[in-house]
Amino acid sequence: MKYGSLILEKKEYVYLKRILNISGYGDDASVTKSLVKLSEELQTAQIVNNDEVPEDIVRFNSIVTIASDNGWEKELQVVVPMEKNVTLNKVSVLAPMGAALFGYSKDDTIDWDFPGGAQKIRIVDVQKEESLKEIDINI
- Asked if residue 103 belongs to a domain, the reply is yes
Mean of pLDDT over the chain:
88
- Asked if residue 136 belongs to a domain, the reply is no
Question: What pTM was estimated for this model as a whole?
Answer: 0.87
CATH number at residue 30: 3.10.50.30
Domain total in the chain: 1
Are residues 90 and 83 in contact, defined by beta-carbon separation less than 8 angstroms?
Answer: yes
On the 0-12 / 13-18 / 19+ scale of CB atoms within 10 A, 91 is buried
Each residue's pLDDT tens digit, 4-47: 999 999 999 999 999 888 766 566 777 788 888 888 999 999 99
- Asked if residue 93 belongs to a domain, the reply is yes
Between the alpha carbon of residue 128 and those of residues 34, 44, 124, the distances in Å are: 24, 23, 14
- Asked if residue 26 belongs to a domain, the reply is yes
Domain hosting 111: range is: 7-130
Q: What percent of the chain has pLDDT over 90?
A: 63
Each residue's pLDDT tens digit, 59-81: 999 999 999 988 899 999 999 99
